[in-house]
Amino acid sequence: EIVLGSIIEPTMLSSAFQTAKLVASASAAPAAGTVLPMTSTLHDSVIADPLLRWSWQLRRVDDIRLRSALAKAVTFTIGQQDPVSGGWRYRQFQEGDVSMFGWQLMSLKSAEMAGVTIPEQVRTRMQAFLKNTAQGSAGGLYGYRRSINGTAGGSEPPTPVMTAEALFCRQMLGAAPDSPATREAVGFIGRNPPSVARTDFYYWYYGTLAMHQHGGAPWRQWNSMIRDLLISEQLTSGEFAGSWDPNDTWGRYGGRLYSTTLATLTLEVYYRFLPLYQVNRPENSAVPESPR
């Protein structure tokens, strides 16, 4: 995550640093050409990366283990990017999908904001991926996959969840908030508001990220719905009080930890994210020294 400010207890920080060091100790990048298992190796790596970056940035000390692990994680992520499509999937150089692409881009953006230099070629490839997989009359809509080099087995129609994730990716890469593609995406998301009848924690998370970055009336409308919905659906009694039932498509895989984590992250967007369009202003530009 792009964590730019949190209220955190010292004991939580200590626990986070210890966890980050545990991740760091296991962060040796696989050899070039390694075939990743179809389970979650690349997912695990990309979700662990921000923990290393977050711990290093908050600690503000010269912890060589965290710096080294973060550098290795970034090198590994970059090494998995498909040079043709510019995307990521489950194996090195495999034509990408929008879901995996979003997690990888978020990881690299987090590292960049911590002071790690991301090669311009990687950024150019990411922009090409988003351009070539775009759909819709203005290029603002996205499906899970769209064949670029003819090996992906065709294209899938646009969905709200992939459009929301891609919009957030485009925002991280500096897309104009008033571009036709952005307006098309925001309109599509707005026509598919969060609903208990269509529970989708993954969509709610990326929809909230993207709409928060966009701001204005679309964000206020989305926020009022997602905030009230999540609060009303949180369990308030019994063995699982405080959690959310894993009753969406991915809940059967991730379980209660998955649903509760994404619901919590969604509700924390206000406190943990600064609008990206403000990030490059001078008063918000301080970052730790780049690792060597």
State what percent of residues in the chain have pLDDT above 70: 68
Better-predicted residue by pLDDT, 90 or 124: 124
Most confident range (mean pLDDT) of 8-22, 39-53, 141-155, 213-227 is: 213-227
Given pLDDT bands bounded at 50, 70 and 90, which one contains residue 58?
very low
Residue 165: closest CA among 108, 199, 213, 95: 213
CB atoms within 10 A of CB 230: 19
What is the SS3 string spanning 230-274?
HHHHCCCCCCCCCCCCCCCCCHHHHHHHHHHHHHHHHHCHHHHCC
pLDDT of residue 67: 76
pLDDT at 271: 78
Q: What pLDDT, in 10s, does the model give residues 164-175?
A: 999 999 999 999
Return the amino acid letter for 65: R
Taking phi over 0 as left and psi of -120 to 50 as alpha, with beta for the rest, 156 belongs to beta
Give the pLDDT score at 278. 55
SS (H, E, C) 186-227: HHHHHCCCCCHHHCCHHHHHHHHHHHHHHCHHHHHHHHHHHH
**Is-contact 190 221, C-beta < 8 A?**
yes
Distance, in Å, from the CA atom of 276 to the CA atom of 30, rounded to the nearest integer, reads 32
pLDDT at 146: 84
**How much is the average pLDDT of 269-291?**
50
Find tokens 């060091």 and name the residue.
21
- Say which residues have a Cβ less than 8 Å from residue 135's Cβ, sequence separation at least 6: 141, 142, 143, 146, 155, 157, 158
pLDDT bucket at 115, cuts 50 / 70 / 90: confident
| Mean pLDDT of the 21-43 span | 47
CA-to-CA separations, 19 to 26, 51, 85, in angstroms, rounded: 11, 8, 34
Dihedral angle sign, alpha carbons of residues 164, 166, 170, 171: positive
Contact between residue 5 and residue 57 where contact means Cβ atoms under 8 Å apart: no
Mean per-residue pLDDT, 245-268: 94
**For residue 94, how many C-alpha atoms fall within 13 Å in the half-sphere facing its CB?**
20
Lowest mean per-residue pLDDT among 143-157, 193-207, 268-282:
268-282
Cα-Cα-Cα-Cα torsion 109, 112, 117, 119, nearest 10 degrees, comes to 10
Say yes or no to pLDDT of 27 above 60.
no
Nearest to 91 by CA among 79, 106, 108, 105: 79
What value does the mean pLDDT of the chain take?
A: 79
Confidence at residue 208, expressed as pLDDT on a 0 to 100 scale: 97
pLDDT band at 215; cut points 50, 70, 90: very high
CB atoms within 10 A of CB 192: 17
**Model confidence at 242: pLDDT above 90:** yes
- Name the strand (E) or helix (H) holding 167: helix 160-172
